[in-house]
Structure 1
Amino acid sequence: MAAVWWRCRPIAAAAAAVALAGVATASAVVATPTVVLAASDVGSAADDRYRALVRRLWLNDPRWEVRSAARSALVSDLPNAIKAFLAPGGGYESARTRAAKNAARNDLIISRAIATSTPATSPHVNMTAKRAQHGTLDEKDRYVRTGLAEAQALDAKRAPVVQAKKQAELDRQYVADLAVNASGAWVKAAAQRTVKLGTDNDIAEFFKYSWASAADCDIQAYRLAVAEQQVRFRHEIDQLVTAAEEAQQAYNGASGAAKEKAAEEARTAWNTAAEVAADAKQKWHANEQLAAGQAQAWSKVREFATAATTQQDWPGIAQRATITGQAWTDELALAQEQTREWTKLAETTRANATAIPALGKPAAAAPTTPVV
């Protein structure tokens, strides 16, 4: 993967530097830029951003296979380990493929455990397998590795399954409200399943296990989508900026009748890159709104749990709400940062396009958009 994601330097970077110096016109910038970012500076900035993405995958990706592969890339002594990891066909894609295969295997084992057990014959296996069925990738993996065997051992000993006490009506109403108004799709679905089943055991199970697991699933789904979004947009913008730089060089070197065609091709290339950057900006803005809504919702859960007095473990729920809310606050901060960066990139690439003058017409004013 070429380290070009943020450079966009043939026009916009040079023009910004020229404008700040208060000299030259856009036509001079287009033809013979006098100030250009050093290649080492450009590469260093791109490398930092790639490393930040891989570090996020190591720390936050829901798939242990991706986390492990990302860590290996981060500690590697190879000079291009980070770029090779993110490149098409690289370590990220290989880890993602392994994760999908392992997840499918875990789902199959869990579904078989449910199909071959009943609450009467294998109560612990049946209960825990159903719990794992709706869990996160890590929860499913742990269950297949150790949890299923532990449940089978309990059933072999004929250990009794603890039955929940009668659940308070206020708690039932709270679950029913989440089934309609929960901000996360997984939490809402878990509450809906609980309301549909409706027993005291189901209500107790929701507050003790299902709610927290579903909250993790909401974060997991978001982070999986964001990881794919980040890698896809980075690959796409890298290719488009490289193509635009090549078209720009062709335009700068063209003369006579070929100049007008080269100018149009360069403008089109820069505008295409700008459109992709603008699309990424909009998606990150949507991520901002989603993360902000989740952070606010979990703040309300914490406030409610702090004052609640029914038999549930409300102090534990309040603590969990604080942790989950902070996770969404962190996601919000990332989304805001990415929105700003893609906004600048969209402006810079668009400025590169408009700075190329039509044949026989004066150049546009030198763009002053800072280089991202």
Structure 2
Amino acid sequence: MLGSTLRSFSLLAASTVVMGFPVVAQPAAAAPASLVLSFTASSSDPTDRYRTLVRRLADNDPRWEVQTAAWSALISDVPTAVTDFLSPGGGYEKARARASQNASRNNLVISRTISTTTATTSPIVHLTAVRASYGTLAEKDRYVRTGLKEAQDLDAKHSPVEQAKQQAQQDRDYVADMAVHGSGAWVRAAAQRALQKGTDNDIQEFFKYAWASAADCDLQAFRMNLLEQDLTYRHRLAQLIVLAQQAQQAYEQASEAARAKAAAEAKLAWNTAADTAAATQASWLATQQLATAQAESWQQVYDFAVAASTQQDWPAIAADAAGTSASWSDEVAWAQNQAAEWTALYESTKASAEAIPASSPTSSPSPTPAA
């Protein structure tokens, strides 16, 4: 059963809670927007690194509004389009706001549909609205755009909701195990809902729709949370870099009497930036471990589905599991790349700190010999 394949993963698989990046005190001075995304002294071009991040958003972000805006930045002829897109107040934040507004509208439509229909009067509309309410952002958007009308048309033709056959006890046990040991918070919640309702239709609904949708929700939440934290700490490190550059300039221009104090302040500023980069790099390594555990868990689900023989559509479940495992493997590769990038940021900021000479006590004047 699934318990033997998932229990070892249950301690790590909280995929809606991303491993947190380090929290550091917010600097008093904010970095200018033009500087926020161009601060590193590492060998690679910062624009290239940020283009890679924007391409990831264009390919993988769950919000079509963000995907569209990211593609616009990528194909723009403006040289700074990519860095402007990720800067505070830029295209990403505007697209995120539009996505939030659209998501709120979709949630309102779906919740009103659920509250104004019943499984008796509008069985297909009610069933599909409840299903959509637990779906991904894309599933909700698709339901509001086209799915609701399709369900209404089916209800108008008096199409009954097909009753599921009696579900095997083995499959019910499977869902019960998933409710406790499933690979992700959304998956566990979907299994728990199926058990709480407990009808044959609810168990079938889990295997046919809810499981795959919940798996997508886990991945969606992971990616969105990770992006928000990534941008937060990129901007924060950029601010620390600006402060360190200002402190270094003050040191270089200081008088001989003030030079030791200025050197200590500049070294401290660069070390603060380096410490933040190092801690963030460690968090990326932890995120990599989480994604690896998820990929392995879904590979185990695939292996189980290939050998399963109950009445569920196990070939379709196996295909979904293989695709989900591959998606989590992509997250592993991304986390590895980000860990390497933050290692380079640490090395460059640490090198700047070490390049400043350690301050030495000011020499005291020699005592005058006694007459």
Which TM class, normalised by the smaller chain length? 0.7 to 0.9
Alignment match, 1:198: 198
Query: TM-score when scaled to structure 2?
Result: 0.85
Q: Does residue 211 of structure 1 match 2:228?
A: no
Inter-partner Cα distance in structure 1 for 2:312 and 2:243 = 60
Query: TM-score when scaled to structure 1?
Result: 0.85
The structure-2 alpha-carbon separation of the partners of 1:133 and 1:4, relative to structure 1 and needing over 3 Å to count, comes to closer
Residue segments in structure 2 that go unaligned for 5+ positions in a row: 1-32, 362-371
Inter-partner Cα distance in structure 2 for 1:120 and 1:277 = 58
8 Å Cα contact 1:212/1:320 also seen in 2: yes
Question: Cα deviations across residues 333-361 of structure 1 (Å, max 9, x unaligned)?
Answer: 11122122213322332342234223238
* Deviates most, 237-246 or 257-266: 237-246
8 Å Cα contact 1:8/1:245 also seen in 2: no
Inter-partner Cα distance in structure 2 for 1:96 and 1:195 = 35
8 Å Cα contact 1:6/1:345 also seen in 2: no
Alignment match, 1:287: 287
Shift of 1:139: 0.2
Code of the aligned partner of 1:156: A
Alignment match, 1:315: 315
8 Å Cα contact 1:3/1:46 also seen in 2: no
Alignment match, 1:110: 110
Inter-partner Cα distance in structure 2 for 1:150 and 1:91 = 34
Alignment match, 1:231: 231
Code of the aligned partner of 2:116: T
Inter-partner Cα distance in structure 1 for 2:144 and 2:38 = 43
Alignment match, 2:91: 91
Code of the aligned partner of 1:128: T
Alignment match, 2:126: 126
Alignment match, 2:165: 165
Structure 1 SS opposite 2:258: helix
Shift of 1:252: 2.4
Inter-partner Cα distance in structure 2 for 1:74 and 1:359 = 46
Q: Does residue 352 of structure 1 match 2:352?
A: yes
Structure 1 SS opposite 2:357: coil
Inter-partner Cα distance in structure 2 for 1:171 and 1:119 = 25
Alignment match, 1:154: 154
Structure 2 SS opposite 1:312: coil
The structure-2 alpha-carbon separation of the partners of 1:98 and 1:6, relative to structure 1 and needing over 3 Å to count, comes to closer
Question: Cα deviations across residues 158-216 of structure 1 (Å, max 9, x unaligned)?
Answer: 11111111111111111111101012110011011111111110111111100000000
* Deviates most, 116-125 or 275-284: 275-284
Code of the aligned partner of 1:190: A
* Deviates most, 239-248 or 85-94: 239-248
* Deviates most, 275-284 or 181-190: 275-284
Inter-partner Cα distance in structure 1 for 2:256 and 2:51 = 44
Structure 1 SS opposite 2:359: coil
Alignment match, 1:370: none
Code of the aligned partner of 1:47: T
Shift of 1:147: 0.5
Alignment match, 1:45: 45
Structure 2 SS opposite 1:257: coil
Question: Cα deviations across residues 7-41 of structure 1 (Å, max 9, x unaligned)?
Answer: 644xxx7xxxxxxxxxxxxxxxxxxxxxxxxxxxx
Q: Does residue 177 of structure 1 match 2:154?
A: no
Alignment match, 2:61: 61
Alignment match, 2:342: 342
Alignment match, 1:252: 252
The structure-2 alpha-carbon separation of the partners of 1:107 and 1:169, relative to structure 1 and needing over 3 Å to count, comes to same
Alignment match, 1:296: 296
Question: Cα deviations across residues 303-344 of structure 1 (Å, max 9, x unaligned)?
Answer: 000100111111111111111000001101111221222133
The structure-2 alpha-carbon separation of the partners of 1:67 and 1:321, relative to structure 1 and needing over 3 Å to count, comes to same
8 Å Cα contact 2:59/2:67 also seen in 1: yes
Inter-partner Cα distance in structure 2 for 1:82 and 1:217 = 28
Code of the aligned partner of 1:210: A
Alignment match, 1:369: none
Code of the aligned partner of 1:86: L
Q: What is the percent sequence identity of the aligned residues?
A: 60
RMSD of equivalent CA atoms? 1.7
Code of the aligned partner of 1:126: H
Shift of 1:250: 2.5
Q: Does residue 327 of structure 1 match 2:321?
A: no
Inter-partner Cα distance in structure 2 for 1:78 and 1:358 = 43
Shift of 1:290: 1.4
Inter-partner Cα distance in structure 2 for 1:75 and 1:6 = 20
Task: Count how many residue pairs are aligned between Structure 1 and Structure 2.
Answer: 329
Shift of 1:237: 1.7
8 Å Cα contact 1:4/1:46 also seen in 2: no
Alignment match, 1:365: none
Shift of 1:5: 5.5
